[in-house]
């Protein structure tokens, strides 16, 4: 999901993001543990948004293609090779549509209604 601000009421509008065949996709992330400091940290890598995602936000997570998962997760992959894996992304394939704001509630129990498109005319009172 990504959220935008509604022009009608300034509320948070959720957008469901998916690949055309609805298969899962993975973000590129980094994880590290520092024994000396006793700190574990992680992050999701981001990059400037590409079409069509740029209409929702100016940046987006880096999405890895399935064929590079093993190399990305292998701690023996040299840094330069790991960086090159980031160019094997799925940016241009992503699609999205608006879904109901019930996605925003921690009380929702999930289900198909979390990814059901809404009628934009109804959502914006047109």
Tens of pLDDT, residues 6-27:
988 999 999 999 999 988 989 9
DSSP helix/strand/coil, 63: strand
Q: What pLDDT is recorded for position 87?
A: 80
Nearest to residue 103, comparing CAs of 113, 92, 88?
113
Predicted confidence (pLDDT) at residue 115 exceeds the cutoff of 70:
yes
Q: What is the mean pLDDT of the chain?
A: 89
pLDDT tens digit sequence for 64-79: 988 999 999 999 999 9
- CA-to-CA distance for 21 and 43, rounded, in angstroms? 27
What is the CATH number for 8?
3.90.1680.10
Q: What pLDDT is recorded for position 80?
A: 95
Predicted confidence (pLDDT) at residue 126 exceeds the cutoff of 70:
no
Number of domains the chain is built from: 1
Nearest to residue 44, comparing CAs of 58, 64, 24?
64
Q: Using an 8 Å Cβ cutoff, are 91 and 63 in contact?
A: yes
DSSP helix/strand/coil, 109: coil
Q: Which of the four pLDDT bands, split at 50, 70 and 90, describes residue 96?
A: very high
What range defines the domain where residue 72 resides?
A: 2-123
Preceding amide of 4 cis, omega within 30 = no
Q: What pLDDT is recorded for position 89?
A: 63
Q: What pLDDT is recorded for position 112?
A: 85
Q: Is 125 left (phi over 0), alpha (psi -120 to 50) or beta?
A: left
């Amino acid at each position: 999901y990504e959220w935008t601000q509604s022009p009608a009421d300034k509320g948070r509008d959720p957008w469901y993001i998916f690949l055309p065949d609805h298969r899962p996709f993975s973000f590129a992330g980094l994880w590290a543990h520092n024994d000396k400091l006793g700190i574990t940290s992680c992050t999701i890598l981001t990059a400037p948004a590409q079409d069509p995602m740029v209409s929702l936000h100016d940046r987006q997570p880096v999405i890895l293609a399935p064929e590079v998962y093993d190399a990305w997760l292998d701690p023996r992959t040299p840094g330069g090779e790991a960086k090159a894996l980031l160019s094997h992304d799925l940016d241009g394939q992503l699609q999205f549509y608006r879904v109901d704001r019930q996605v925003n509630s921690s009380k929702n129990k999930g289900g198909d209604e979390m990814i059901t498109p809404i009628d934009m005319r109804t959502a914006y009172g047109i």
